[in-house]
Amino acid sequence: MQNNQHIHCSVNNCHYWAQGNKCDAREVLVTSDQIGASYPDEFDCEQAAELVPTPVDTCMASCCKTFVAKNSNKIKADNVKKL
């Protein structure tokens, strides 16, 4: 199965950031800022089905929960793998 989805990201200090402003994470969890802030870093894609859908009014109220800083000791905390 080929994944034709492309996620673009300009946050170049993220572990998953790749040349050309691409996201190299196999999975990405996007949620509301409120939910993102209320769960620990370990809560990510594996638990996404447990979340209640959370509507937001603007893109400014959403966040990428999969962000991990480059060279962070939390790179493996969320079990998300690079492509």
* 52-70: average pLDDT: 95
Domain boundaries, the chain: 17-64
Residue entry with tokens 């200090």 = 13
- State what percent of residues in the chain have pLDDT above 70: 96
Q: Contact at 8 Å (CB) between 52 and 32?
A: no
pLDDT digits (tens, 9 = 90+) for 21-57: 999 999 999 999 999 999 998 999 999 999 999 999 9
Output the pTM of the full model. 0.85
For range 45-74, the mean pLDDT: 94
Dist CA 16 CA 83 (whole Å): 9
